[in-house]
Structure formats: structure tokens, C-alpha cells
Amino acid sequence: MSASPDTSAPSRTRKIACEACPLRESGRFRDFTEQEVSFVSGFKRGELTAEAGSTIFVEGSHSPHLYTVISGWGFRYKTLEDGRRQILNYVLPGDLVGLQGTLLGEMEHSLECLSDMVLCMFERDRLGDLYKSNPALGFDITWLAAREEQILDEHLLSVGQRSALERAAYLLAYLHDRASRVGLFKDAPEISPLTQQHVADTLGLSLVHTNKTLRKLQDRQAIRWKEAGFRISDIARLKDIARWDGLPDGMRPFI
């Protein structure tokens, strides 16, 4: 069973120029040429600000947009007709979302905000131009798609083969790694804004059993669950329990 999404409409505005994009400050991206940055600037259609709990797009829609996450947490998910929900992956600053819908026509999954989010919006129609005039940026998009594929491979391994305890440990370690890489824990305390229902729907476990599993991780001093969120106490222990293998880093090429 799943939480029912609160579908309040997100608001739109337009502001920051790509030249001053806060994401590029982090030093986690490759160097772009001036020409590239200005092209992306022209490609950009505006910004979208959405609050926690709102839905950016839903399964079955034909959204003509492509987004880059500027700030906040979100998650992609799919549902079965009877309401069972599977969370596919989490999105963080720097992630590109909506590519599937853009290329393949219909959106086959939904995107919901876990926290307040700001996204940068691009026009689908001009994607072809991007490939023509800036092949390196096209290459970067492919890179991002390949990386998402790799993450999904790992999740599939997790849900298919790991035990409940391993799975939970893996997910929490994964989120911790990704969030700290994009600098989300720079100043704030290291808390991830998930509920246990989110964890359950990601791992394919019931809420009750998820709760018992998380408790076990807490008993082993690997995490601490705070109301609606958790923090990692011992990442090494967590990765050990998870039979952690990887998730290699590597420079991210694209905004």
C-alpha cells in the first residue's frame, strides 16, 4: 500500500541565468565553453518552484519538458492499477529528469517532491538543435542516461537479491553517498527527508516490516531514525551490512 500523493499545482517563475547557475559553483561539473553555457541559456525556458508533496509530472502524461534539478529532493515512481507503488530512484540537484517522456513520447513514471524543489525547465522541441550545434552536450545527456541505467541496475540487484536488512542498509548508504556528493550535507545536519513509507515503497517491503528492519539497523548503531527522516551514525557499518560494492563517482558532465 502507498501514501496518497498531494497534487497541489507547482508555481512557475523565471530567474537565474545559466552563467550564474549555482550548480556550476560546486566544481562537480566539467568545464563548459562559453558557447555551451550560452546555448543552454537559450535552451532554458524558465524555472519551476514546487513544494514538498507536489507532483511535477505523472505517468501517462505527455509532458513536453525536460528538467534539471537545481535544489531539493524528489523521487520517481510507478504504480500498478490497484495502488501498489514502486519508487524507482531519488532525484537530487544536478539530475536530469523527464528525458524518457521527451524521447519516447509518453511519460511512464511520475515525479514527486520530497522537499521543496526548484527545477530548471527546457523545451523538448529544441533538443534536436542541441545535438546538432553542441554535440558535446548531447554526449553529456547520453552519459547521464547511462548513469541512471547503472543506478537502476544496482537497485534491481538490491530488490531482487538482497535480504530486507541488506536492502535497507544499501538504500540508506546510497542516499547518504549521493546526497553528500552533491553537497547537501555541507552545513545542514545529515538528515534525509524520507518517511518509512518511502523506504518501504523503494525496497518492496511492507511498512510494518520496514519499520522492524530499520529498528534492527538502529539497534546495531548504524543509523538513527528521527521523525520523518534519518541520519547515518556509522556509514562503514551500514555499507558492511549492505554488502556494498560500489557506485563509482566520476565527474558529472552536464548541468
Partner DNA sequence: CGGGACCTTGACGGAATTCAAACCGGGTGG
Partner DNA sequence: CCACCCGGTTTGAATTCCGTCAAGGTCCCG
Which of 152, 212, 245, 251 lies at the binding interface for DNA (CB under 7 A)? Answer: 212
Which of residues 14 and 212 has its CB atom nearest to DNA in the complex?
A: 212
Give whichever of 85 and 252 is closer to DNA, judged by the CB atom: 85
Residues in the chain: 255
Contact call for residue 235 and DNA (CB under 7 A): no
Q: What's the distance, Cα to Cα, between the start and end of the chain in Å?
A: 36
**205 φ/ψ angles, rounded to the nearest 5 degrees:** -120, 160
- Residue 132 binds its own copies (CB under 8 A): yes
209: contact with DNA by CB under 7 A: yes
In the bound complex, what is the minimum distance in angstroms from residue 249's beta carbon to DNA? 29
Cα of 197 vs its chain's centroid, Å: 17
Tell me which residues in 145-164 interact with DNA (CB under 7 A).
163-164
Angle, CA of 174, 180 and 186, to the nearest 5°: 160
Distance CA 64, CA 116 (A): 22
Helix (H) or strand (E) segment spanning residue 99: helix 99-104
Binding string, 224-253, against its own copies, x = CB under 8 A?
-------------------x-xx-x-x---
Does the footprint of its own copies cover residue 33 (CB under 8 A)?
A: no
Q: Which of residues 135-154 bind its own copies (CB under 8 A)?
A: 135-136, 138-139, 141-143, 145-150, 152-154
Question: Where does the chain show beta strands of DSSP type E?
Answer: 11-13, 44-50, 55-57, 65-71, 74-79, 85-91, 96-97, 110-113, 117-123, 223-226, 229-232
Part of the chain binding DNA (CB under 7 A), chosen from 73-81, 128-136, 191-199, 237-245 = 191-199
Count of alpha carbons within 13 angstroms of residue 181, beta-carbon side: 19
Instruction: Return the amino acid letter for 81.
Output: E
Q: Which stretch binds its own copies (CB under 8 A): 24-32, 42-50, 75-83, 171-179?
A: 75-83
Taking the complex as a whole, the smallest distance from the CB of residue 197 to its own copies amounts, in Å, to: 14
Pairing status of strand 96-97 against strand 117-123: unpaired
Alpha-carbon separation of residue 171 from 74, 91, 191 (angstroms): 15, 14, 14
**Which parts of 162-195 fold into alpha helices (H)?**
164-181
Contact residues: its own copies, CB under 8 A: 76, 78, 80-82, 84-86, 88, 99-100, 103-106, 108-109, 127-128, 131-132, 135-136, 138-139, 141-143, 145-150, 152-157, 159-162, 201-204, 243, 245-246, 248, 250
Interacting residues toward DNA by CB under 7 A = 1, 3, 163-165, 195-197, 204-215, 225, 227-229
